């Protein structure tokens, strides 16, 4: 697959805010179909790496919904918003700088340690089941603006997640993927059993 026309097509599928925030990069050497590394706070762009030789094995609707889910996930990660953990990260960094200037080794360790702990918590929250389910829901909403019904969008994202696991040679889905797929089956009307709220909040 020639990456350039597909990249242009995917940019058209994305919401405008996603186009401004992210950059699609061809990476033929990676074993994953699509990879979205966790964005660091100083990153200007949030890259999405795609192996287009593997990507072409997905159907067009699957590609649309998978990219929308990835974009929605990236857009949910906000380092600098009014939140306890973000506040601790900023305080930890500033405290570390002040203590470093004052040559207080213990103060530097404590301040930067607090910042690191809070940063780890932000990373964990971004990978939570709830966050990923919310990203899927946002993808379905954008998908409906791109001409899919909610049922169709859920079916395409579901089959896309399952197809990616097969393409990558994985024998089974991981726990979070299983939860996402069950949630999508319920939305698509393929299963009467949804995901319990307690599991969604994990």
Query: Domain for residue 69, yes or no?
Result: yes
- Does residue 25 form part of some domain? no
In a domain, 154, yes or no: yes
Residue 122 placed within a domain: no
The answer to whether residue 106 sits within a structural domain is: no
DSSP characters for the chain? --HHHHHHHHHHHS-HHHHHHEEEEE-TT-SSSEE-PPPPTT-SSEEEEE-HHHHTTS-HHHHHHHHHHHHHHHHH--SSSS-HHHHHHHHHHHHHHHHHHTT-HHHHHHHHHHHHHHHHHHHHHHTSHHHHHHHHHHHHHHHHHTT--HHHHHHHHHHHHHHHHHHTT-SS--HHHHHHHHHHHHHTTS-S----HHHHT-
**What is the pLDDT of the chain when averaged over all its residues?**
83
Binned at pLDDT 50, 70 and 90, residue 95 comes out as: low
Q: How confident is the model at residue 44 (pLDDT cuts 50, 70, 90)?
A: confident
Q: Could you give the number of structural domains in the chain?
A: 1
The pLDDT value given to residue 106: 57
Residue 42: inside a domain: no
Residue 175 lies in a domain: yes
Q: Is residue 176 part of a domain?
A: yes
Asked if residue 75 has pLDDT above 70, the reply is yes
Its pTM stands at 0.77
Q: Which domain holds residue 177?
A: 59-78+127-200
The larger pLDDT score, comparing residue 131 to residue 43, is at 131
What are the tens digits of pLDDT across the range 172-181?
999 999 999 9
Per-residue pLDDT tens for 108-128?
A: 565 455 555 555 555 455 567
């Amino acid at each position: 697959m020639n990456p350039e026309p597909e990249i242009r097509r995917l940019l058209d599928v994305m919401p405008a805010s996603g186009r401004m925030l992210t950059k699609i990069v061809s990476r033929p050497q990676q074993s994953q179909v699509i990879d979205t590394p966790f964005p660091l706070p100083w990153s200007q762009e949030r890259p999405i790496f795609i192996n287009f030789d593997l990507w072409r094995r997905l159907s067009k609707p699957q590609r649309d919904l998978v990219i929308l889910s990835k974009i929605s996930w990236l857009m949910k990660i906000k380092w600098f918003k009014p939140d306890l953990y973000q506040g601790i990260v900023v305080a930890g960094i500033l405290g570390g700088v002040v203590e470093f200037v004052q040559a207080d080794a213990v103060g530097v360790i404590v301040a930067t340690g607090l910042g690191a702990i809070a940063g780890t918590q932000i990373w964990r929250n971004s990978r939570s089941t709830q966050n990923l389910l919310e990203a899927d829901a946002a993808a379905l909403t954008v998908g409906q603006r791109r001409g899919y019904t909610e049922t169709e969008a859920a079916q395409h994202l579901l089959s896309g997640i399952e197809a990616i696991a097969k393409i990558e040679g994985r024998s089974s889905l991981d726990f979070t993927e299983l939860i996402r797929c069950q949630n999508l089956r319920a939305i698509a009307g393929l299963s009467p059993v949804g995901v319990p709220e307690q599991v969604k909040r994990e």
